[in-house]
Every structure is written in structure tokens, then in C-alpha cells.
Amino acid sequence: MSVKRKDLFVSIVGEENVKDSQAQLLAYSYDATANFQSKPDLVISPRDTEEIAGIVKICASEQIPIISRGSGTNLAAGTVPNQGGLIVLFNNMDEILELDMENLTITVQPGVITQNICDFVEDNGLFYPPDPSSMKISTIGGNVSENSGGLRGLKYGVTKDYVKAMTVVLPDGEILKLGGKLAKDVAGYDLMSLFVGSEGTLGIITEITLKLIPLPISKKTGIAYFNSLEDAAETVSAIIADKIIPVTLEFMDKGTIGAVEDFMKIGLPLDAEAMLLMEQDGNEEQVASDIQQMIRIAEQNGATSTAIASSNEEAEILKTGRRAALSALARKRPTTILEDATVPRSEIAKMVKAIQQIAVKYDVQISTFGHAGDGNLHPTCLTDVRDEEEMLRVEQALAEIFHIAIELGGTITGEHGVGEMKAPYLEWKLGTSGINVMKGIKQSIDPQNIMNPGKMFAKETKMRLVINNG
Ligand SMILES: Cc1cc2nc3c(=O)[nH]c(=O)nc-3n(C[C@H](O)[C@H](O)[C@H](O)COP(=O)(O)OP(=O)(O)OC[C@H]3O[C@@H](n4cnc5c(N)ncnc54)[C@H](O)[C@@H]3O)c2cc1C
């Protein structure tokens, strides 16, 4: 970036909050997504909303792309500056501003780490439920912009269900305040929902107010192993049909169980085809009865072994395997691609079987774990980006997985977002008219396309596949 342009930004945030050495630009050229990389021109750490408004006004007049970046843990190349430009960081905007015990809300800056919000409110007897597995490192600004979900999504919903108000800097530098600490508000279009999950393509979120709920008094954990995927899937449906909504209902397939056991040596049954981890929270009596009933349902549906944790320590042991799933798989090959195809709960067994067949068809290594209660599966492909021929087969396999997810009534992403990576597949889900409506919204809010360009909207849509599995 020219010295003159850089000086404009320095005059707003100070020399100490601007980075542009080659090493620094390289560090912000990629995120948690494999195989996407491009260097920004400048990295900047503003300190408040007004500074961000000033920065955006310069970018608007000079047509400089702006990429908001939390912790860069997104898995869709959402923060890769594929057209260069300015990376905006929120490391100077990481404060909890207010806990409102009367309205049960918390107001935070976008750079606060999600886990810190959960810990802070729990110390005050309150609960912020959305818990993406990355919550120890991801920021709340990133969570809101991706509408992230987590293990507790089945019972408590996802990030959008907790956003009450936000401040946004629009692409022309104007500051927009949306929502409030209100239980009800139907004034006009629901603009706040539009910004939730907008992946930095419509504006920069600079302050967020979140809804809190009372902290559940108790929690219990159980586990069940199965010799068939169908038995595990039947158990999931039967639990819900029995009118139990567990806080967590997590799934691991045989490949994942094997990888975890290889890594952790915790005695997991290597012959099991599937594992379900179940958790319930609430009042003690209800929790005890629900967890026992869930285990009973698992046994009625063919579980080969089951267990209920009798203490927090035992619960932690039962949860170790699921928590270690990604790390255990990631040890196997140089590159890990974590996907999140999502189907209706009733289609889980079909989807997992299809993933296994696709892995064989394209001769690639894919294991699956995920949030069974939500139908949100994480087919995880273990590969090596240096092997171009294998990467081609991986791409074909993943495209076929998205295709089948849609055929089964699902979607190409349940929680990781679109970014640059999934943009070529978005039309498969939304159709041409859906894409056109989105383009119209983008054009009216960001006519110069400076907010995270090259994301969400693909240059070219991938051709729908004609699949012949026969
Ligand atoms: C190991 C691992 C586990 C994961 N588990 C989950 C999971 O369980 N559930 C889940 O949903 N996701 C999960 N993710 C994906 C990722 O962690 C989430 O999408 C998370 O919300 C991203 O937060 P971040 O702070 O890293 O945001 P980033 O990756 O930095 O940014 C994400 C997007 O938000 C935009 N953005 C960030 N901050 C702002 C802002 N203030 N204003 C406007 N736009 C902004 C960016 O431009 C980008 O498009 C996981 C990722 C990893 C690596």
C-alpha cells in the first residue's frame, strides 16, 4: 500500500495499530481453511466504532476492500483477502461493556472470546448457550457474523437466537444501531437478522448485546455404542419422538472412534460402528429421569454398550472421545478439511452411509462425527494439499456430499458459512432467484463491493452433479 494511503490510516489508529511487514501480511494471508491464501495490503487494529467509521470512509473513497477478522477460525476461507485490501482486527475491542441483571443481557465488543463471555456470565449465575467447539479461541464478532452453532444447539438454538442488539458500521462509514434490550420489537424489516450470518459482507459489527438465560442447576452425561449406523440414527429419532430434547446428542462413526482410540488410548470399542454421546441439563429430577430414559431408548434400539456418568469427573471422561475427534483425525494426514453438510435428523443414517460410499468411490479418507440431534454432520477429509491429483478427487467427493445433502432435504453448510470456499455451491441450495435476492441486498447496502469481496457470491456456480452410484 502506498505511503500516502497508509498514513491516512495511521492518522486514525496510530502507528502501533498498523501492521504491514511482509511477515505480518503473510500471517494474515490465511485462516483455518486449507488451501486458500492471499496477502492483504495492511492490517489494522482500531479501538472503537468511530475509528472504524473513519477507516471505512477512507476505504469507500479509495475503493479498498475491507476484511473483518476475528480469530480467523472460520472454515470457509471467509477472512482470506483474495483481492488484497485491509484486514480489520478486533484485538483492541475485546471488552465486556455491561452485564444487565434486570434485562438479562450482556453487551460486548466484537473481539471478546466466546468462552470468556460464557465464564463471565456463569460466575453471575447466568447462561450464554451457543458453544461452537472453537469457543476458546473464536470471537463473538466472528460467531455473530457466521451465526455459529454448537453442541448445545439442539435444545438452545444458535447464535442468532441470542442477539438482541448491535452496532454496525455500514460500507459508507455511517453508524447503524439495531435492536435493543427488548423482548419484542417488530418495527420494520428484521435488519439485525440480516447482519447475523452476513460474514462481513454487509458491514462491520462493532458492538453486540446478547440475551442470557438462567444457568441450569444440574447436568448428566451418558454414552451408547452401536453395531450399526441405523441403530444409532433410530435412537436419535426415538429420543426426540419420546419428547426429550437433550442439550447434546453427538455422534461419531467407526473411523472417528478408531482415530480417537489410536490417539487417546481410552478403551473405546473398535468394533463399534457408531457412538452417541448424550447430555441433559435442567433441574436434578428431570435430568436424572431424561438421561435414564435416553439410555433405555438406546438399549431398545440395539445399543451394544451404554454408560451414565455418576460424577463430573466421569462425565469428563465420557466426553473426552468426542472432544478429541478432530485432533485425533487431524493427526492422520498433513491436511484436514472439516465439512458440515447438514440433513434433517431423520436422514442421518442415509447421509453417513452415502459419505462412506463416496469416500470409497473417490478413494479418499473421510470420517464423520457431528451434532446428530441437529442432523449437522462433520465429514472430515484427511488429505494432503501438495498432492494435486488427490485434491481433485477430494473436491469431487465433497461436491457429491453437498449434492446428496441437498437431495436429502439438507444444506451445504449447517454452521461454518459460505465464505469463498462454498460460494460456488450456494446456488445449489438457494436457486437462481435466491442468489438474485441476495445480490440485490448486497448491491443496495454495499454498491462498491468493498466489504469482504469475493465471498458468498461465486464468479461461477459449480455444475450440479449427475450422480450414478450404480
Ligand atoms: C477446530 C474448529 C472447530 C470449530 N467448531 C465450530 C462449531 O462447533 N460451530 C461453528 O459454528 N463453527 C465452528 N468452527 C468455525 C469457526 O470457529 C466459527 O465460524 C467462528 O464463529 C469464527 O469466529 P472467528 O472469531 O474465528 O471469526 P473469523 O474466522 O475471523 O471470521 C469469520 C467471519 O466473520 C466475519 N467477521 C468477523 N468479525 C466480524 C465483525 N466484527 N464484523 C463483521 N464481520 C466479522 C469475517 O469477515 C468472516 O467472514 C470451528 C472452527 C475450528 C477451526
Nearest CA to ligand 1 atom 1: 134
Question: What's the pLDDT score for residue 470?
Answer: 41
Average confidence (pLDDT) over 236-261: 94
CB of 74 shorter than 6 A to ligand 1:
yes
Tell me the HSE value of 268 on the side-chain side, using a 13 A CA sphere.
33
CB of 109 shorter than 6 A to ligand 1:
no
**Gap between the Cα atoms of 406 and 342, Å rounded:** 8
Question: What's the pLDDT score for residue 324?
Answer: 87
Predicted TM-score (pTM) of the model is 0.95
Question: What's the pLDDT score for residue 460?
Answer: 79
Collapsing DSSP to helix, strand or coil, 161 comes out as helix
C-alpha cell at 462: 459449480
For a mutational test of ligand 1's pocket, the pick from 43, 68, 93, 163, i.e. the residue with the most ligand atoms closer than 8 A to its C-beta, is 68
CB of 67 shorter than 6 A to ligand 1:
yes
Q: 124-133, 206-215, 311-320: which range is least confident on average?
A: 311-320
CB of 158 shorter than 6 A to ligand 1:
no
Residue ranges in 74-207 assigned as alpha helix (H): 114-122, 140-146, 153-156, 191-195
Average confidence (pLDDT) over 164-192: 96
Question: What's the pLDDT score for residue 307?
Answer: 95
In the reported structure, the alpha carbon of residue 72 is separated from the centroid of ligand 1 by a whole-number distance in angstroms of: 6
For a mutational test of ligand 1's pocket, the pick from 29, 118, 137, 146, i.e. the residue with the most ligand atoms closer than 8 A to its C-beta, is 146
CB of 201 shorter than 6 A to ligand 1:
no
CB of 142 shorter than 6 A to ligand 1:
yes
Question: What's the pLDDT score for residue 469?
Answer: 47
Average confidence (pLDDT) over 69-81: 97
Pick the atom of ligand 1 nearest to 206's CA. Answer: 41
CB of 153 shorter than 6 A to ligand 1:
no
The confidence band for 402, taking pLDDT boundaries of 50, 70 and 90, is: very high
- Render the burial of 127-144: b for 16+ CB within 10 Å, e for the rest: bbbbbbbbbeebbbbbbb
Of the chain, the end-to-end C-alpha distance in Å amounts to: 55
Q: Which domains does the chain have, with CATH numbers?
A: 3-89 (3.30.43.10), 96-214 (3.30.465.10), 218-407 (3.40.462.40)
Scan for cell 505480518, then name that residue: 24
CB of 159 shorter than 6 A to ligand 1:
no
CB of 150 shorter than 6 A to ligand 1:
yes
For a mutational test of ligand 1's pocket, the pick from 45, 134, 148, 451, i.e. the residue with the most ligand atoms closer than 8 A to its C-beta, is 134
**Average pLDDT of the residues of the chain:** 94
**Gap between the Cα atoms of 78 and 25, Å rounded:** 16
Residue 249 has pLDDT above 50, yes or no: yes
In the reported structure, the alpha carbon of residue 138 is separated from the centroid of ligand 1 by a whole-number distance in angstroms of: 6
In the reported structure, the alpha carbon of residue 75 is separated from the centroid of ligand 1 by a whole-number distance in angstroms of: 8
